[in-house]
A and B are shown apart, each in its own frame.
Chain A
């Protein structure tokens, strides 16, 4: 095989796998939008908050230690030296469930029947609160997150692929981040689990009923509010998974919350209401972005078109299908 072809294959694989990382964030958006009609801008900050909390539990940091030290002149930082990742993850999941419950209790309950834009702004407010509280609780320095997922290039793959290039050409093998492979595996498990859960359990059926029609679900005795708590908790869990993945890759810091902006084109491409849409949208966006960066960006000699190319791509799709690839058809009546 020629080097160009091998490079192309490498780009495609890397693109698809970075797309999976976007899908992980988009998935949380879709779940919440389906069940409660809320466009949850805070999903990215959810991921940041979950990752911060996870690191905090792992290293045994005292919540709000900075603040307490500053106010009272004390000097304490850690409860205990370290905690096994497994228990830290369990504790983080519990935190996210409590958070979901609080959000329903304090925010959503009071905003039922408001216009979508008001709910959207409320989630922006929520994003600010979580960001501020996260920083106050755990400090704003960049943290290293390690839960034992391997990362870095795969040597095995590099060695295998070197032989594929045609004789005499300079080729050093494919570079594929192992972390992305793990993200793919975890995403597959997650989606399968979600699908099984919503197909075969009673709560899952209630979930789908609420997503289908709020009023009809209410009238057959499904409690909307408990479903909302459940959905926000599941989204919190997905956010934690996304936070672990992104946090392992680039450290836990404020920029982690900006992955929400990366997930938005995935959402409009796939449609706000479709879980397969989130996955396929993510794959398409990841692929398109990487190919554009290398082939179009290289051609024009301008870098960083990644920033807007995803949006542009989603826009082109939207011009043909205004509801996204898999979104519910928009039916309008006067």
Chain B
């Protein structure tokens, strides 16, 4: 008979095996691969830190890193704020609520690739209906993803359109989990609507918000498809995020070592930022413990 000491591990084994095969091994392969180089004829050789050294002396890498950080600095708080605002909006009981909720989560049903193509048509400088509308109301046509100044903002807009409804669902569930009695007690104590939001809702939403922020950051650091489909990293590198650089290195220039080095750096940055985010959103009572 198997000793009871091992029983929990046995039950965990399938999940641990999945974690190993689908997460830890690929990470190890990526980190290992970042230390290799490939000859023209496909022979692999150990290159040490050569790929990293080369990246650190390459202005293209630094510019791409800057863009990735800027993109995330804007998009993550923005998506959290928009998702939270939407959640508060559809949390209030009102007639036809189901309709608005459906409308907000609808972009989830459109694949990222399709939505990028649709926005490409929608925002097109010559054929796009949005520019027709902007001209009609007197603002004038905008270049959107075709301009160095507006491209990153356009991608942030598209990603937020697609993502906000999804993240809203988690925050809405969080809002429902706040006991009505707490709000009631605050009301009896004479707290105004703003005070109830500031001192009851917000602190009790810390956990769902932390989850959304961390999960959203992880996804946005790997933001890729709209860049590939709409801008190819341009104009003039304005949307050349690190994920796109990693893709291009691997699949256009067959430089797997460089690609994996970029992925490894991306992973390291992501770990640091996620740890920081967790700390930032930790409830005060957890900090004391």
A binds B: no
